[in-house]
Amino acid sequence: MSLKYQTGVRFNHHLGPQETLSFMGEGVGAALFAIAFFTGQWLFAVPGILFVVGAVVALLGHLGNPQRAWRAVTRVGTSWVSRGTLFIGVFVGIATLAVAAGYLGMTALQGPLAFAALVVAVPVMAYAGMLLRSIRAIRLWRGPFVPLAFVAHSLASALTLAWALMPVLAGSDAAPWLQPAAMVSLVASALVSLLHLLRAERSAGVQASFERLFRGDLRSSFIVGGVVCGIVIPLVAMAVLAALAGGGAVTALMLAVALCRLYGDFAYRNGVVLAGAYEPVMPDWPMRSFTPPGAAPACGTAGH
C-alpha cells in the first residue's frame, strides 16, 4: 500500500453562500431574541425566531435529501453539526413557547421559558464559528477568533436591526441605549475580525486565503461589503442620525442602515467561508528520528 500526499491547497467548495446565509440567520435571530429578553420588547423575539427558522428552511432546501435531516442529531458527542442542530431545535421550541406564553397572559411561565431560550441562544450564536473551527484541515478557521467574530457580528447586526426597528415598534424614546450599544458592537466585531486575520496561522493555505480575500475574486465583496457596508457606513450613519430629529425620513434611513449592515455581515462571513483553503494535514512525528530501511542510523540517533 503506497502513501500519497497532496502537497497543494484547494479552496473550500462544500460550504457556500447558502450555508453562509444560514449561519448568519441563526446567529442574528438568536441575538434578536436575547435583545428582546433584555429590553422587554417581545416583538423582537418574533423576527428573531423567524430568522432562525428561515435559516434552517433555506439550508434544508439546499440538501440533497431533506427528509433525512433528522440524522444530523445522531452524533452530538462528536459532531458540531449534530450539536448545532440540537441547539437550534431546542431554541426554536422553547423560544416559541415563551412568546406564546406572553401572548396568552401566562407571565409566570414566560419568564423561565424565556431565560431557558436565552441560555440556548448563546451556543446557537457560536455554532457556525465552532463548526468552521472544527474543520482542522483549513487553518484560516482555526483558533478561538472565528467563533468570537461570528458571535460579535451576530450581536452587531441584531443591535443595529433593533435600533432601526425600535421607533416603528415602540417609539423613538424606547431603549435609548440601543444606539451606543450597536456602535460599540460594530467596533468590537471589527476588532475581533482583525485579530482573527492577524493571529491566523502562517501557512500556504492561509496565504492563499489572504490572496483571495485581499487581491483575488473576493476582494470587492469582502472589503466593500464586509468592511465599508458592514462597519463604516453603519457607524457614520448612526453618528449623523443621532443629531437629527425623528421623523419618517429618519426612520427610513435607519432601516436602510440596518439592511446595509445585514449585507455587510453576510459579505464578511461569506468571504471567510469561501476563502478557507484545505491543505494536507501532515503527521506530527519527529522526522529527524526516521531512518530509511537498510540505511545506517544518522549521527546522533540511537539505533535499537
Written as nine digits, the cell of 226 is 464586509
pLDDT at position 71, please? Answer: 53
Instruction: Kindly give the parts of the chain with pLDDT less than 70.
Output: 1-8, 59-80, 171-172, 174, 245-247, 280-304
pLDDT at position 81, please? Answer: 74
**What is the domain partition of the chain in residue ranges?**
10-283
User: How many helices and strands, by DSSP H and E, does the chain display?
Assistant: 10, 2
**What value does the CA radius of gyration of the chain take, rounded to a whole number of Å?**
23
pLDDT at position 61, please? Answer: 55
Q: Which residue in this structure is represented by grid cell 459532531?
A: 79
Q: Closest by alpha carbon to 20, among 232, 256, 225?
A: 225
Rounded to the nearest 10 degrees, how much is the dihedral formed by the CA atoms of 117, 120, 125, 131? Answer: -150
pLDDT one-digit tens code per residue, 228-284: 999 999 999 999 987 776 667 888 999 999 999 999 999 999 999 999 998 865 544
Could you give the CA distance from residue 300 to residue 278 in angstroms, rounded to a whole number? 36
pLDDT at position 283, please? Answer: 47
pLDDT at position 172, please? Answer: 64
pLDDT at position 171, please? Answer: 67
Task: Indicate the class that CATH gives domain 10-283.
Answer: mainly alpha
In DSSP notation, 245-290 reads: PPSHHHHHHHHHHHHHHHHHHHHHHHHHHHH-EE--------GGG-
Could you give the CA distance from residue 296 to residue 294 in angstroms, rounded to a whole number? 7
